[in-house]
């Protein structure tokens, strides 16, 4: 499963919208399967699995968008962390007395069936050092300014601009407007990062660009995680 795939972000956004009463389970599952195809957790269809977790006290879903050396949103154990870093994403189900981690993999059965299989792992406790939405938005703005200054000082092939990349990053009903804006901006900047082209640059120019893009990638992932957790942020702050 590619890191830029929206399977885990969709599962977290629409799963939390369901848990907070803004949409029904069927609608939430339909949106997840719209981006990745039919979904199973282990060998259980997604709808049934989520309903079973609700009976076990499922209270929220959290997003992890790790990268090598930056386990954003992860708190172990090592098998789950390793699988999530390889996939570039994971979702964490917060239950009454334990947490479960989901890592998406392509599910191909036969020549025509293509869906998503969520590998189920034991997961560690919820991390509380993740940014709030306001903090993540400030970090993203700062990284955007720094990256713009660094990249405009490096001569090289022209890059695609965010305004040419269309829409994306929409959340589910129930999320605050600020979360929608931050998620959409971070998603579009993530697309810019994936389109970055290093051809024709010297080693020094590559180094300058690499630092700028690395810092922007870090801010983009933190902004997306914060946006997907924002539906419960007022509750946590009470």
Contact 38, 115 (CB under 8 A): yes
pLDDT at 155: 53
Tell me the C-alpha distance between 192 and 140, whole Å: 14
pLDDT at 165: 45
What are the two backbone dihedrals, phi and then psi, of residue 42, each rounded to the nearest 5 degrees? 70, -115
- What are the contacts of 160-169 at 24+ separation with CB within 8 A? 160/192, 160/195, 161/192, 162/188, 162/189, 162/191, 162/192, 165/191, 165/192, 165/195, 168/6, 169/224, 169/227
Say what the pTM is.
0.84
Tell me the C-alpha distance between 86 and 70, whole Å: 12
pLDDT at 167: 58
Q: Which residue, 101, 33, 28, is CA-closest to 66?
A: 101
pLDDT at 153: 60
pLDDT at 151: 64
Strand 39-41's sheet: what is its strand order? 44-45, 39-41, 113-123, 99-109, 90-94, 60-64
pLDDT at 26: 97
pLDDT at 63: 97
Residue 43: partners with Cβ closer than 8 Å, 6 or more residues away: none
Low-confidence ranges of the chain (pLDDT < 50): 156-165, 237-238
Tens-digit pLDDT profile for residues 137-189: 999 998 888 877 766 665 544 444 444 345 578 899 999 999 999 999 998 88
């Amino acid at each position: 499963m590619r890191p830029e795939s929206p399977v885990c972000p969709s599962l977290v956004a629409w799963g939390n919208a369901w848990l907070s009463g803004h949409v029904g389970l069927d609608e939430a599952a339909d949106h997840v399967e719209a981006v990745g195809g039919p979904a199973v957790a282990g060998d259980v269809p997604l709808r049934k699995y989520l309903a079973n977790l609700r009976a076990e006290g499922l209270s929220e879903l959290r997003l992890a968008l790790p990268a090598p050396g930056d386990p954003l949103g992860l708190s172990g154990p090592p098998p789950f962390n390793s699988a999530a870093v390889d996939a570039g994403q994971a979702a964490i189900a917060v239950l009454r007395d334990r947490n479960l981690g989901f890592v998406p993999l392509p599910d191909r059965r036969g020549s025509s069936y293509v869906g998503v299989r969520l590998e189920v792992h034991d997961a560690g406790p919820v991390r509380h050092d993740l940014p709030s939405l306001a903090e993540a938005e400030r970090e993203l703005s700062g990284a955007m300014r720094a990256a713009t200054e660094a990249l405009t000082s490096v001569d090289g092939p022209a890059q695609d601009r965010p305004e040419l990349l269309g829409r994306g990053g929409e959340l589910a009903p129930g999320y605050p407007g600020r979360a929608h804006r931050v998620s959409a901006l971070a998603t579009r900047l993530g697309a810019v990062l994936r389109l970055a082209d290093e051809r024709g640059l010297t080693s020094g120019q590559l180094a300058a660009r690499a630092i700028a893009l690395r810092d922007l990638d870090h801010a983009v992932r933190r902004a997306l995680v914060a946006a997907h957790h924002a539906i419960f942020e007022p509750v946590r702050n009470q």
